[in-house]
Amino acid sequence: MAKDSYSAKDIEILEDLSPILHRPGMYTDPQNPNHALVEVIDNAADEGLAGFAKHVSVILHEDGSATVEDDGRGIPIDIHPKKKVPAVQVIFTTLHSGGKFRKTDKDAAYRIAGGLHGVGVCVSNALSRRLEVEVKRDGGHYRIVFADNGQLREPLKKIGSVGPRDSGTKVRFWPDPKYFDSPKINVQEIAALLRAKAMLLPGVRFTLGIEKKGRIETTEWHFPEGIRGYFAEAIAGLSPVAAPFFGERYVTAQSESDSFAEGEGAMWAIAWTAEGDTVTESYVNMIPTRHGGTHVAGLREGVYNAIKNFIDLHSMGQRGLKIVPEDVWSRASYVLAVKMLDPQFKGQVKNELISREAVKLTAQMVRDPFELWLNQHVEEGKRIAELVIRQAQARSRAAQKVERRKSSGVAVLPGKLTDCASDDPERNELFIVEGDSAGGSAKQARDKEFQAVLPLKGKPKNTWQDNPDTLYSNKEIEAIALAIGVDHHKPGDAVDLSGLRYKRIIILADADVDGAHIQVLLLTLFFRHFPKLIERGHVYVAQPPLYRIDVPAQGKGRPARKLYALDDAELESLLEKLTDEGVRPGSWTVSRFKGLGEMNPEQLWETTLNPDTRRVLPVTVADGELHESLSIFNMMMARENAAQRREWMETYGNLVEADIT
């Protein structure tokens, strides 16, 4: 349990404020003030998660302001040792100040929490005309007020006394309309959020009051049965083919895991329906992840493996019919709530989880209990399996149709291509890889089922000037065209893409100068001779990491970790973050990958190939901008444009960082 001597010394500072007002879009969703309110609610809920708050109340006032009150420990008000002002003032005015960084310490003020960057309420304060905080703790009732986008208006003052056990925080703020497209808080979204938090924290009462004509109408959410009651309401109206499967599993001191820390794990509810919409909700440390992420990928993986085993065990499979994860997943409705020490989200709005280890964590937690459940509920299991098999049949019929169409214009596939097993172009991916050695690693690491590899020998030709008639005289270029199944064309041509053999064509090159050159040459080929593939979003560039960081275990509370960084900037910020977490600088080892060939298959799979955990950049052009991109290519790639190119480099060259290692 987190310690309860939570005070100013627990509040650490990483950086000074102000960037929020310059670039609000980087810190908040400018549609409406919901995100600013959610940050305040998340803090109150984190007090509930840490075991202190029992009631969180939200009131939306008629004047557009909102109040959030909790009965947790109260924000510390003592003088901050570094800043020499009360901690509560530091928290609302200093970016990256908070009590949630230190995860390694078993008695840190918060171990598992939705907050992590120490940015949240600074955003709410900076984007407000006025913000008032009241804190009750240690027998005193205190108040501090900010105004005009985060300026201190009334310093912290004791305004009364309270009983020794009375504690908590109350924040009221008036969003500044000039930062939002609409100044109105979206009530439905807040209600859904509080409802979900009530399900995730069955011991905490959540209420939402709406002020109308001076009176407050209050709704309360309470799910004594937690996720069961909540999920039953969520799927009411759908008819699942079998009873929902509920489960909950966390790493405990006894069940020591070598990859995960005590308290990490997941809770879930899942059911399958033959038709209708599906419910798909996911949370990380009680933060809703509207766009899902790696934890959802882990649930999918765990559930897929369990069902596949069940189908094999009960000999329900059919010859030649392959079950793929999508068959299991497309009709699943679920609510998933994961707890982890150190989640990484895409951006401060936290809509999507990107922590790679969440895939393994969730899959591990879910798989065994689900297999067990299926085998204890064989009838239910069979009905789910039948639905999955029907999905697989439908998918395979659709793919066969495409295959038949394709085989009419038979072309021989290039000998260098290591193709995938699946015939379904909707799933399949082609990696165009630099060099035979990297090609070999990619072949070992890939999922043979849907990932094909085409290794290139050395640098591909610069095809900018090539005449379409002679394009294929270069064997490498011909191999690419044959593999993808689409003929070269010009912008604006009516192109038949029905022969396209892969939905994604991914350029995979080393993260160095040669790799960048190869990327440019291949992009030149696609932009110049296969522009439709770019317009339709089929071309991607893989982003293999440049660095690997091995972080040793931090006592019993935190197992050893393997982290990856894309470039120097990411490496620097990762190391800073580790230091903030309390990891001793220098206790980690950083290794630089010299090339793709240096990664072992498992690393290459995890960082670059696995769709759930890899990083790839889609190559896109905005509508109507293809011609502009082409003219830049023309300047860069055409032989006769050397003078123009030099001029461009003299003007913009300083913006390009040369990698000269």
Paired sense of beta strands 168-175 and 66-70, if any: antiparallel
Q: Is 71 a catalytic residue?
A: no
Q: Cα-flanking dihedrals φ and ψ of residue 304, to 5°? A: -60, -50
71 near ligand ATP, judged by CB under 6 A: no
Give me the least distance between CB of 562 and ligand ATP, in Å please: 24
Helix 227-234 to helix 187-200 angle, to the nearest 10 degrees? 140
Q: Residues at the annotated binding site for ATP?
A: 6, 43, 70, 115-121, 350
Please report how close the Cβ of residue 46 comes to ligand ATP at its closest, in angstroms.
6
DSSP reduced 3-state for 274: coil
> Binding residues for ligand ATP, how many (CB under 6 A)?
23
Choices 40-48, 466-474, 573-581, 633-641; region in contact with ligand ATP by CB under 6 A: 40-48
Binding of residue 288 to ligand ATP (CB under 6 A) = no
Query: CB-wise, 39 or 419, nearer to ligand ATP?
Result: 39
Would you count residue 204 as binding ligand ATP (CB under 6 A)?
no
Of 37-45, 416-424, 529-537, 589-597, which part binds ligand ATP (CB under 6 A)? Answer: 37-45
200 vs 189: CA distance, rounded Å: 17
The answer to whether the CB of 341 falls within 8 A of the CB of 264 is yes
Q: Restricting to residues 371-390, which ones interact with ligand ATP according to CB under 6 A?
A: none
Any catalytic annotation for residue 371? no
Least Å from the CB of residue 73 to ligand ATP: 6
Q: Is the dihedral of CA 148, 153, 157, 160 positive or negative?
A: negative
Cα–Cα distance measured from residue 447 to residue 444, given in angstroms and rounded to the nearest whole number: 8
Q: Least distance (Å) from ligand ATP to the CB of residue 187? A: 22
The amino acid sitting at 167 is: S
Q: Assess 227 for contact with ligand ATP (CB under 6 A).
A: no
Identify whether the C-beta of residue 557 lies closer than 8 Å to the C-beta of residue 104.
Answer: yes
Smallest distance from ligand ATP to CB 182, Å:
23
Minimum gap (Å) between residue 243 Cβ and ligand ATP: 37
In whole angstroms, give the CA distance from residue 196 to residue 222. Answer: 10
**Contact letters (x/-) for ligand ATP, 153-172, by CB under 6 A?**
----------------x---
Contact status: 515 vs ligand ATP (CB under 6 A)? no
Stretch that binds ligand ATP, among 39-47, 222-230, 278-286, 485-493 (CB under 6 A): 39-47
Q: Cα(402)–Cα(396) distance, rounded to whole angstroms? A: 10
Binding status of residue 43 toward ligand ATP by CB under 6 A: yes
Contact between 57 and ligand ATP by CB under 6 A: the answer reads no
352 near ligand ATP (CB under 6 A): no
Identify how many contiguous H helices and E strands the chain contains and give both numbers: 19, 23
Q: Which stretch binds ligand ATP (CB under 6 A): 43-51, 241-249, 571-579, 602-610?
A: 43-51
| Residue 336: C-alpha distances to residues 46, 269, 285, 343 (Å) | 18, 7, 11, 15
Residues 6+ apart with CB under 8 A from 510: 434, 438, 544, 594, 595, 596
CB of residue 11 to ligand ATP, shortest distance in Å: 6
CB closer to ligand ATP out of 350 and 395: 350
Task: Please state, in angstroms and rounded to a whole number, the distance separating the CA atoms of residues 376 and 133.
Answer: 53
Cα-flanking dihedrals φ and ψ of residue 73, to 5°? Answer: -75, -15
Q: Does 150 participate in binding ligand ATP (rule CB under 6 A)?
A: no
Compute φ and ψ for 18, nearest 5 degrees.
Answer: 110, -35
Minimum CB distance to ligand ATP, residue 245 (Å): 32
Residue nearest to ligand ATP (CB): 115
Helix axes 294-313, 357-376, angle to 10 degrees: 30
Residue numbers 4-23 binding ligand ATP by CB under 6 A: 11
Q: Report which of 329, 335, 338, 356 is spatially closest to residue 249, judged by C-alpha positions.
A: 338
Q: Which C-beta is closer to ligand ATP: that of 73 or that of 561?
A: 73
Planar angle of CA 77, 82, 85, nearest 5 degrees: 40
In the complex, minimum distance from the CB of residue 467 to ligand ATP, in angstroms, rounded to a whole number? 56
DSSP 378-416: HHHHHHHHHHHHHHHHHHHHHHHHHHHHHHTT--PPPTT
Locate the DSSP E strands across 168-214.
Answer: 168-175, 205-212
CB environment 419-434: b (16+ within 10 A), e (fewer): bbebbbbebbbbbbbb
Site membership for ligand ATP, residue 44 (CB under 6 A): yes
According to CB under 6 A, which residues from 78 to 97 bind ligand ATP? 91
Residues 99-128 that bind ligand ATP (CB under 6 A): 99-100, 115-122
Whole-angstrom distance, CA of residue 324 vs CA of residue 282: 22
70 binds ligand ATP (CB under 6 A): yes
Q: Which is nearer to ligand ATP, 115 or 150 (CB)?
A: 115
Active-site residue among 248, 436, 449, 514? 514
Q: Are 94 and 13 in contact, with CB atoms under 8 Å apart?
A: yes
Rule CB under 6 A: say whether 35 interacts with ligand ATP: no
Note if 434 is an active site residue.
yes
Q: Which of 98, 265, 288, 545 binds ligand ATP (CB under 6 A)?
A: 98
If binding is defined by CB under 6 A, does position 41 make contact with ligand ATP?
A: no
Nearer to ligand ATP, 15 or 62 (CB): 15
Instruction: Supply the minimum distance, in Å, between the C-beta of residue 171 and ligand ATP.
Output: 7
Which lies closer to ligand ATP via its Cβ, residue 103 or residue 538?
103
Considering only 72, 439, 460, 531, the residue that binds ligand ATP (CB under 6 A) is: 72
Residue 423 is among the residues annotated as catalytic for this protein: no
d(CA 643, CA 646): 5
Of 211, 512, 535, 570, catalytic:
512
Which of the residues are catalytic? 434, 510, 512, 514
| Binding positions for ligand ATP, rule: CB under 6 A | 11, 39, 42-44, 47, 70, 72-73, 75, 91, 98-100, 115-122, 169
